[in-house]
Amino acid sequence: MAKNRAATNRRRNRAPKVDIKGWYRHHLMCARSALMGLIRQPISSALTWLVIAIALLLPTLFYIALQAINTQTQAWQEGGQITLYLNNTTTIDQGQALANELRARPEVSTVEYISKQQAWDSFRSVLSLQSALELDENPLPASIVVVPIEQSMADLEALILMLTDLADVEDIQIDLAWIERLNNVLDLIESIVQVLSIILATAVLLIVGNTIRLSIESRKAEIQIIKLLGATDNYVRRPFLYLGFWYGLSGGLAAWLLLTLISLNFQNQLDTFLASYGLTAPAIWLNVREFGILLLSSILVSLMGARIALWRHLKDTDPQ
Amino acid sequence: MIHFDQVSKRYDGGFEALSSLSFNIDKGEFVFLTGHSGAGKSTLLKLITAIEKPSSGQIRVDGIQLKTMNRRDIAFYRRKLGIVHQDHQLLMNHSVFDNVAQPLIVAGENPSDIKRRVHAALDKVGLLSREKFKPIQLSGGEQQRVGIARAVVKKPDVILADEPTGNLDPALSRDIMSLFAQFNDIGTTVLIASHDLGLIARLNYRVLSLKQGRMITSPFASGAA
């Protein structure tokens, strides 16, 4: 019975044929009037999109810094080296043969053979303790310094295992722990950037949500009237969603402008500073793809803020 | 067209605005709704416009059970109605033209059509020269007529008016009533809440009288004579 009635209702109260043109016109009208509204109140709207811009700028700068560190550390990872101390019984020829063998391996970048005599010479030149120690025999072993190419930690461990098992190798000293530590620190920074991005995205969400809420409040009477004239919820929401869209777009563009300003002011200083350490400075810049992501996320987060505000406050605007 | 079946409306706090109201208005009828203020006229109109829901009983308008409508249904249902509010309910920061055009814009009509129809409606209420004015620049009576133009611009199936001549002088009142009568002639159902008994007496239409939420005239009798 109730079902039948609902069906009859639907038939009798059929929505008029969807007029795509009218729908499109309304979208255009809402987009335009929302934009005009922002332009007509430049100061109050600037406050909103500036806050959005700053909230977006922070994670963007962190992201650029992280990218830069990642590029640098790729070079640093090659600095990890493995020192193989050879048996005392190993002759110079045998040692050099082993060094050549290692040099031929693909996972190895450079190999240096240090003979007993070379080790002794460098020891003495560094410490000048010859007279004090009065050693009549050279106690130092010959060694081979292996610098592996950049590779995953697992591959590196496999290489180390292989080197440890070599017959002529007495002892092995690995200078790789710091690389692992560096990687951990980078992972930590990356997590911090992610958390920060989420926190600041939430801030954007709240800012836009609150701005839209105020806008709904101020137009409450108007909304009540057009609802009585047969406006659907979608129709009522549309202008506010466009408002959110424009806030997102202008906030994203402003973040990019701020980034450009920072780049213009600090790029030279950064270049000079890092060059003094022999490092190349990263460009404080976004490529087209990153710029697109910045704009898109700004718009999406703002739209979400607007949608949440509408969801919370649209019911308040039902006619009374 | 408008069918009330044992409709009651109680507000929070126990006040009963309408008690077991039953009546029927046929398609194409012209009906006056009278009663002292507080008799339930506005409540009755709010129930028909689906602003409020009855506490009990059923309301059918043009065959639609108002009770079973969802939010979207309500929006499309209201497009069939032309509503004149006692307090005008105009968009104060829009021009007279935009105000009258709203029902057509909401329905997605095309702009040239809208212009033609808004001008026709404004002409009928004698405000064509004021189309660019804001409501605030108009007198109370003129605002009332903007509201009336907005109600008729879409040639609605049903015209509902709450004291539409409250702010108008007798000559204008007659003009507005004859405007409603013109729409009635082409088949529009008209329900007007009014306490202007003189005006009602002059026009020979059916009258529904409310007193303390109850119908005091025979609800199905036709004609006042």
| Tens digit of each residue's pLDDT (9 = 90 or more) over A295-314 | 999 999 999 999 999 998 88
CB proximity B77 to A under 8 Å: yes
Output phi, psi for A298, to 5 deg.
-60, -45
In this model, does residue B17 exceed pLDDT 50? yes
CB-CB neighbours of B210 under 10 Å: 23
In this model, does residue B6 exceed pLDDT 60? yes
CB proximity A22 to B under 8 Å: yes
Flag if A12 and B62 touch (Cβ within 8 Å).
yes
In this model, does residue B184 exceed pLDDT 60? yes
Most confident residue range from A182-186, A214-218, B168-172: A214-218
In this model, does residue A226 exceed pLDDT 50? yes
**Shortest CA gap A3–chain B (Å):** 10
pLDDT at A176: 67
A301-316 burial, b for 16+ CB within 10 Å, e for fewer? bbbbbbbbbbeebbee
Q: Collect all residues of chain B within an 8 Å Cβ-Cβ radius of residue A12.
A: 62-64
pLDDT at A16: 54
Angle between helices A20-40 and A233-275 (to 10 degrees): 50
A207-216, B92-101, B214-223: segment of lowest average pLDDT: B214-223
Flag if A12 and B63 touch (Cβ within 8 Å).
yes
CB-CB neighbours of B3 under 10 Å: 17
Would you report the helix, strand and coil content of chain B in percent, each value rounded to 5?
40, 25, 40
In angstroms, rounded to a whole number, what is the distance separating the alpha carbons of residues B42 and A259?
Answer: 59
Please, are residues B124 and B152 in contact by the beta-carbon 8 Å criterion? Answer: yes
CB proximity A1 to B under 8 Å: no
A62-76, A202-216, B123-137: segment of lowest average pLDDT: A62-76
- pLDDT, tens digit, 9 for 90 and up, residues A242-279: 999 999 999 999 999 999 999 888 888 888 887 887 77
pLDDT above 70 covers what percent of chain B? 96
**Shortest CA gap B115–chain A (Å):** 15
B86-111 burial, b for 16+ CB within 10 Å, e for fewer? bebbbbeebbbbbbbbbbbbbbbbee
Q: How confident is the model at residue B31 (pLDDT cuts 50, 70, 90)?
A: very high
Flag if A19 and B150 touch (Cβ within 8 Å).
no
Q: In the predicted model, what is the mean pLDDT of residues A48-73? A: 85
Angle between helices B140-152 and B96-106 (to 10 degrees): 20
Which stretches does DSSP call E strand in A52-98? 81-86
Question: Domain ranges in chain B?
Answer: 28-41+71-215
CA dihedral A147→A149→A151→A156, nearest 10 degrees, is: -30
Query: For testing the chain A interface, which of B53, B64, B80 should be mutated: the one with the most A CBs within 10 Å?
Result: B64
CA B54 to each of CA A155, B9, B48: distance values in angstroms, whole numbers, following the listed order: 76, 5, 10
Q: Collect all residues of chain B within an 8 Å Cβ-Cβ radius of residue A10.
A: 73
Helix, strand or coil, per DSSP, at residue A219: coil
Q: Which of A75, A81, A76 minimizes the C-alpha distance to A108?
A: A81
In angstroms, rounded to a whole number, what is the distance separating the alpha carbons of residues A124 and B54?
Answer: 104
Flag if B107 and A12 touch (Cβ within 8 Å).
no
CB proximity B112 to A under 8 Å: no
In angstroms, rounded to a whole number, what is the distance separating the alpha carbons of residues A108 and A91?
Answer: 23
What's the number of CA atoms in the CB half-sphere (13 Å) around residue B91?
Answer: 22
All domains in chain A, ordered by first residue: 20-74+182-317 (no CATH), 81-175 (3.30.70.3040)
Q: Collect all residues of chain A within an 8 Å Cβ-Cβ radius of residue B85.
A: 228
pLDDT at A132: 52
pLDDT at A123: 78
Which stretches does DSSP call E strand in chain A? 81-86, 108-114, 143-148, 169-175
Burial of B84 (0-12, 13-18, 19+ CB in 10 A): buried
Helix, strand or coil, per DSSP, at residue B129: helix
- pLDDT, tens digit, 9 for 90 and up, residues A123-168: 777 776 555 566 667 788 888 888 877 666 777 778 888 888 888 8
* DSSP annotation of A310: H
Sheet (strand B2-10) strand order: B16-25, B2-10, B56-61, B64-65
Q: In the predicted model, what is the mean pLDDT of residues A172-182? A: 75
Closest CB from A13, A225, A227 relative to B76: A13
Q: Which fold has domain B28-41+71-215?
A: Rossmann fold (3.40.50)
Higher pLDDT, A87 or A153: A87
**Token pair for A259:** 């980034």
Flag if A13 and B90 touch (Cβ within 8 Å).
no
Q: Collect all residues of chain B within an 8 Å Cβ-Cβ radius of residue A222.
A: 91, 93
> How far is residue A165 CA from its own chain's centroid?
41
Q: How confident is the model at residue B166 (pLDDT cuts 50, 70, 90)?
A: confident
A13-22, A211-220, B100-109, B125-134: segment of lowest average pLDDT: A13-22
pLDDT at A1: 44
CB proximity B110 to A under 8 Å: yes
Q: Collect all residues of chain A within an 8 Å Cβ-Cβ radius of residue B109.
A: 19, 22
CB-CB neighbours of A112 under 10 Å: 14
Q: Which of B150, B155, B158, B154 minimizes the C-alpha distance to B50?
A: B158
Closest CB from A2, A225, A230 relative to B91: A225
- pLDDT, tens digit, 9 for 90 and up, residues B32-65: 999 888 888 888 999 999 988 899 999 999 989 9
Q: How confident is the model at residue B173 (pLDDT cuts 50, 70, 90)?
A: confident
pLDDT at B159: 94
In angstroms, rounded to a whole number, what is the distance separating the alpha carbons of residues B102 and A231?
Answer: 9
Burial of A119 (0-12, 13-18, 19+ CB in 10 A): middle
Q: What is the mean pLDDT of chain A?
A: 83
Q: Collect all residues of chain A within an 8 Å Cβ-Cβ radius of residue B106.
A: 226, 229-231, 235
> What is the interface pTM, i.e. ipTM, of the complex?
0.88
Which stretches does DSSP call E strand in A168-311? 169-175
Which stretches does DSSP call E strand in B62-179? 64-65, 81-84, 158-162
Q: Collect all residues of chain B within an 8 Å Cβ-Cβ radius of residue A5.
A: 65, 68
Output phi, psi for A28, to 5 deg.
-60, -45
CB proximity B221 to A under 8 Å: no
CA B37 to each of CA B88, B190, B193: distance values in angstroms, whole numbers, following the listed order: 18, 20, 11
The angle formed by the CA atoms of residues B218, B219 and B225, to the nearest 5 degrees, is 60
Q: How confident is the model at residue A8 (pLDDT cuts 50, 70, 90)?
A: low
**Shortest CA gap A310–chain B (Å):** 15
Please, are residues A240 and A214 in contact by the beta-carbon 8 Å criterion? Answer: no
Flag if A225 and B111 touch (Cβ within 8 Å).
no
pLDDT at B225: 36
Query: For testing the chain B interface, which of A229, A314, A316 should be mutated: the one with the most B CBs within 10 Å?
Result: A229
